[in-house]
Homo-oligomer: A and B are copies of this chain.
Amino acid sequence: MIRVKTEHLGKDVDIVAYAEDIERINQGIDARSLPGNDYLGWAKYPENYDKEEFERILKAADYIRNEVDTLVVAGIGGSYLGARAAIEGINGLYGDNKVEIIFFGHTMSGKHAKQILRKLEGKRFAINVISKSGTTTETAVAFRLLRDLLEKNVGKEEARKLIFATTDKEKGALLGLCKKYGYERFVLPGDIGGRYSVFTAVGLLPLAVAGIDIRAFMDGAKNAMLAYDSDEINEAYKYAILRHVLYKDYGYSVEMLVNYGLHLVQLGEWWKQLFGESEGKEKTGLLPDSAVFTTDLHSLGQFIQEGSPVLFETVILEKDPEEDVLVPHDEDDLDGLNYLEGKGLNYVNSTAAEATLDAHSITGGVPNILIEIDRFDAFGMGELMYFFMRACAAACYLNEINPFNQPGVEVYKKNMFHRLGKPGY
């Protein structure tokens, strides 16, 4: 269960004033009657997903886990951020993973590519290439390189069995490659955009290969769907309203998502795409930013506390973390830490969080929205990601913005294709 708390907001917000807007928006999402309605497949997906494909995903993941120790996921934007965020958030950064997941195909640095290819030299590995079209430059280049190497390493026939594609059901270059070479394929549904795709095969196959219980992940999403697909001001819509009012009425320019663990850095990156790409249109929208405390309190903390008052914070707190370490006793106590002896690090962490909420909101005057979740496990992560997707759609509609297009992304691409001499540009 997710709770949105306002005791550190420090601003008056008349949430109930938005009751009619929310009713209209929620009904509009369900009736697919709002702008961007062609891309609302994610809204009921936790219930409507293809159960047969889900079983195939589990089977493919088992196969990969038994056959290789490395899976390379080639995708960019929505085709990797969700999976990476969920895997790191749930498994942690130094977990004892059976299969190493390498995300490759989202930048063009020669150095980075060379190092990854060198690491995979001579190795038997699996590939999950994720692209709606199959022609996205970064991903397509990475897939060419990876496929060539894998074929060199294990032979063409064997390579075919180690390549898995997630792509459009009916069209596109990657679908053509699948048909020609017989790669097993999964569907990126036509009515779900990249940044809303973590509950499709885009997210599920990498998660399952990482050993995550994807049934629990989908259960979390469904739980959130049942809670937040309602005409009332539920927690997701409450969050949408709070940030809307801080933007429109109080003039804040930046929303900073704060987490309390390094394994949640990528959750911030996923969230930044979700909100930035959905909302940042028509010269409007909150700039999404992210930080991880306590480390960034020794970096951005000074600015948040005393710098330009341009931002508010949205802080995610995990109430019941799974694992803990206790502060050990030290006879000499030269570091003066014995007052924490026997206390858990999670206790210190949550105390730091409470202290920071006060420091920033009361002393610093920075509004803080608090989002409490039970645990960053598969269920909790599924719940939280759906919560944000639902909130994001509502937030955009409150700003009268279509949450599901991204016209601005094409500008640099057209410039680039022209300069690179791509046929047709």
Contacts and interface: CB of A to CB of B under 8 A. Distances in A.
Contact of A294 (B108, B323, B346): B108
Interface stretch (A1-9, A20-28, A51-59, A138-146): A138-146
A253 B328 CA distance: 44
Contacts of A339: 420-423
A83 to B, nearest CB: 14
A273 B298 contact: yes
A177 B356 CA distance: 30
Nearest to A341: B144
Interface in A268-299: 269, 272-273, 276-277, 279-289, 292-295, 297-299
A349 interface: yes
Interface string A91-130: 0111110000010001111111111111100000000000
Interface string A339-370: 11001111011011011101110011000000
Contacts of A287: 254, 289, 303, 307-308, 310-311
Contacts of A153: none
B81 A299 contact: yes
B358 A415 contact: yes
Most buried by B among A148, A276, A283, A294: A294
B321 A109 contact: yes
Nearest to A413: B355
A321 B109 CA distance: 9
A398 interface: no
B335 A412 contact: no
Oligomer copy total: 2
Contacts of A269: 299
A202 to B, nearest CB: 13
A192 interface: no
Nearest to A376: B111
Given A180-B334, A280-B308, A352-B412, 12 more contacts: A78-B298, A92-B115, A108-B260, A108-B294, A109-B346, A141-B337, A144-B335, A253-B308, A269-B299, A280-B302, A343-B420, A359-B415
Interface of A: 76-78, 81, 92-96, 102, 106-119, 134-135, 137-138, 140-141, 143-145, 148, 173-174, 176-177, 180, 194, 253-254, 260-263, 269, 272-273, 276-277, 279-289, 292-295, 297-311, 321-325, 327-328, 330, 332, 334-337, 339-340, 343-346, 348-349, 351-352, 354-356, 358-360, 363-364, 406-409, 411-413, 415-416, 418-423
